[in-house]
Structure 1
C-alpha cells in the first residue's frame, strides 16, 4: 500500500514537471492559450498571451479594450471571422498585427475553435503566437525576390503579381488611378558607344529618379531592359499626374556623369487612366498605356501621350504641351 502511495506521488511530481516544461516551452516559443466565454465575453489567458500584447499578468482583461489593440485592418478581419465562427461553428486562423500599449507593433498568428454545449456555441478558445521575427524574415526574403537588383525598384514578377495577373482588378481593392509606362530614349546608343557598365550606371540613376518622383506610388517597377511602369493612386487628378510625369521626364533628361563622360538620356511615357479605380481590366489598361507609349515614341523624344478606352492616342495631348513648355523636347 505504501509503495502504491509513493508511486502515485512520484507520478504526480513527474506530471507537474512535464506541465511546467510544456508551459515554459510555450512561453519561449511565444505561444499562449486563450478562451472567451460567449455569454459575457469574459477572457482568460495563459502568460504567453499577456507577453504578446505587452500586458502585465495582473492587468484586468476587457475584450473591448483588447480589440482596440488590433490595427484597423486586422480588427476588421478578426471580427468578421469571429462572427462567422460563432454562427457556423467553424474554426479559423489568421495573422494579425497589434499595437501594444507602449506603441510597439507586433504580429501574431491567431487560431480559434468553438465549443458547443447544450445545443449552443458557448465558448471560443485557441492559441496565439508571436510571429513578428518570422514575419520580418519572410518580408525580407520576399523583398529580395521582388526587387530588381540593379535599380532597387520592384521587378517584373512583382509588377505582374500586383497588376497584370488581375489580383487588383477586383471590387474592393486599393483603388488605382492610372498605369504609366516609361521607355528610355537613346539607351541602346549609350550601351553601344560606352558599354554595358555605362548603361547600368544610367539604369541605376533612372531608378533613383523614378523612385524619388513617385515616392508615394503603390508600385514603381522595372519591367524590361529599359522599360519601367508606375501605378498611381486614384486620388491624383489627370492634369496633376501629367504634370508630375512631365517633371519626371525633365529629371530623366538631365545629364549623367560617368567616368569622365557625360551621358544623355531621355524618356517617353504612355498613360492609361482607369475608368473605374476599383474594378478594371488589367490587360485592357495595359494595352491603352502601351499604345500611348508607342505613339509617344513615334511623336519624338521626351513625349507624353495619354491613351483612351478605344486604345487610340492623342499626339497633341496636354502632356505634350507640358513637355514643350519645360524644354524637354530636343
Structure 2
C-alpha cells in the first residue's frame, strides 16, 4: 500500500512538473509574442491602449507612452492623461466614450493633444467595448499620430479655399457665402449687400512695371481691404483684379454707400513700389442680397459695377432695375 501511494505521488509530481514546464514554455512564448507585438506597434507607429471598467486603470503599449512623450512604464493616471487633450477634443472624447459605453459599441475620433513634453499633436483614436454578461468591463483600442496627415490636409483645404497671393478667401468660398446669405435673407426677411470691386488702372501698372509690381498691388489692396473691413472672412478675391465684400451687418443703404466711398478713398491712395509712386483706383457695384439665386444677386451687382465704370470710374453705383441688363463680365 505504501509503495502504491508513493507511486501515485511520484506520478502526480511528474505530471505537475510537466505542467509547470508547459506553463513556463507558454509564458516564454507569450512574452516573445508580446515583445514582437510591441516592437511591431512601434515600427507601425500605432499605440495600443486599454482601460479597465469601472476602475479606470490604464494599460499602454510602449509607443503610446512615446506618443504622449511620457517615459515608458510610468504609472498612469487617467485624469492626468486626459488633461493632455485640448478643451474641445477632451469634451468630444468624453462624450464619444460615454456614448460608446452606454451603447456597447465603439468609436473613432481625431483629437488634438499637448504632450507631456509640450508638443502639439493630432492623434486618431479607435475604441471598442468588451462586455461580460452585457456589462462593459474594458474599453480598448489604438492611438495613432496623424499630425503630418492633418497638416497636409489643412494645407490642401487652405489652397482649395484661399487665394495664395492675398490670403483672402477665393471665388468658391465667395459663392458659398453668398448662397448662405441669400438663404438667411429668405428665412429672416432681412438683407445685406454685395459689393463688387474692380480696380481702376491695374492693367497699365502690370504692363509697364511687370507682374511683380502687379502682384504687389494686389497684396497691398487686400491689406487695405482688411484694414477697412474687420470681418476678414467676408472679403474675397474673385478674379485677377476683382474683389468682393459680402456684408450682412449693414442694413441701411446710406451706410453701405458710405462704406463704399471709404473703400474707394482708401484704395485710391498711392503706394511706392521700387521707388516708383503707383496709383490705383476702384469702382464698386452694390446690390442688395435678395433674390432667388446667386446669379440674380451677382448680375445686379455687376450691372451696377458697369454703371460705375461708365460714370468715369473711381465711384460706386447701387443697382436699380432701371439700369437694365448688361453682359456679365465675371461668370458665376
Aligned-residue Cα RMSD (Å) equals 4.6
Instruction: Write the distance in 1 (CA, Å) between the matches of 2:53 and 2:246.
Output: 45
* More helix by percentage: 2
Query: Once the 2 structures are TM-superposed, how far is the Cα of residue 95 of structure 1 from its aligned partner?
Result: 0.8
Question: When the two structures are superposed, what TM-score results if normalisation uses the length of structure 2?
Answer: 0.64
Instruction: Write the distance in 1 (CA, Å) between the matches of 2:303 and 2:242.
Output: 12
C-alpha distance after superposition, 1:224-246 (max 9, x if no partner): 233323567x8x77799987766
Cα separation, partners in 2 of 1:77 and 1:9, compared to 1, 3 Å: closer
Alpha-carbon contact 1:33-1:127 (below 8 Å) kept: yes
Instruction: Write the distance in 2 (CA, Å) between the matches of 1:89 and 1:303.
Output: 66
Cα separation, partners in 2 of 1:36 and 1:18, compared to 1, 3 Å: closer
- Residue pairs, 1:59-98, within 5 angstroms: 59-63=75-79, 65-98=80-113
Query: Once the 2 structures are TM-superposed, how far is the Cα of residue 126 of structure 1 from its aligned partner?
Result: 0.9
* Aligned: 1:115 with 2:109: no
SS at match of 1:82: helix
Alpha-carbon contact 2:272-2:278 (below 8 Å) kept: yes
Cα separation, partners in 2 of 1:194 and 1:148, compared to 1, 3 Å: same
Alpha-carbon contact 1:114-1:123 (below 8 Å) kept: yes
Residue 250 (structure 1) aligned to one of 262, 265, 278:
265
- Residue pairs, 1:68-217, within 5 angstroms: 68-101=83-116, 103-160=118-175, 163=177, 181-187=195-201, 190=204, 194=208, 197=211, 199-213=214-228, 217=232
C-alpha distance after superposition, 1:170-192 (max 9, x if no partner): 9xxxxxx9675441242576379
Question: When the two structures are superposed, what TM-score results if normalisation uses the length of structure 1?
Answer: 0.65
Residue 279 (structure 2) aligned to one of 258, 263, 288:
263
Cα separation, partners in 2 of 1:271 and 1:107, compared to 1, 3 Å: farther
Alpha-carbon contact 1:179-1:285 (below 8 Å) kept: no
- Residue pairs, 1:200-239, within 5 angstroms: 200-213=215-228, 217-218=232-233, 220-230=235-245
Return 5+ residue gaps in structure 2 as ranges. 1-19, 185-190, 322-332
Alpha-carbon contact 1:98-1:105 (below 8 Å) kept: yes
Query: Once the 2 structures are TM-superposed, how far is the Cα of residue 109 of structure 1 from its aligned partner?
Result: 0.5
Instruction: Write the distance in 2 (CA, Å) between the matches of 1:30 and 1:306.
Output: 60
Alpha-carbon contact 2:260-2:284 (below 8 Å) kept: no
Instruction: Write the distance in 1 (CA, Å) between the matches of 2:162 and 2:83.
Output: 35
Query: Once the 2 structures are TM-superposed, how far is the Cα of residue 25 of structure 1 from its aligned partner?
Result: 3.5
Alpha-carbon contact 1:252-1:265 (below 8 Å) kept: yes
SS at match of 1:218: helix
Instruction: Write the distance in 2 (CA, Å) between the matches of 1:67 and 1:231.
Output: 42
Instruction: Write the distance in 1 (CA, Å) between the matches of 2:90 and 2:141.
Output: 17
In the comparison of the two structures, how many residue pairs are matched? 289
Query: Once the 2 structures are TM-superposed, how far is the Cα of residue 134 of structure 1 from its aligned partner?
Result: 2.3
Instruction: Write the distance in 2 (CA, Å) between the matches of 1:49 and 1:142.
Output: 29
Return 5+ residue gaps in structure 1 as ranges. 171-176, 275-280, 314-330
SS at match of 2:265: helix
Instruction: Write the distance in 1 (CA, Å) between the matches of 2:147 and 2:206.
Output: 48
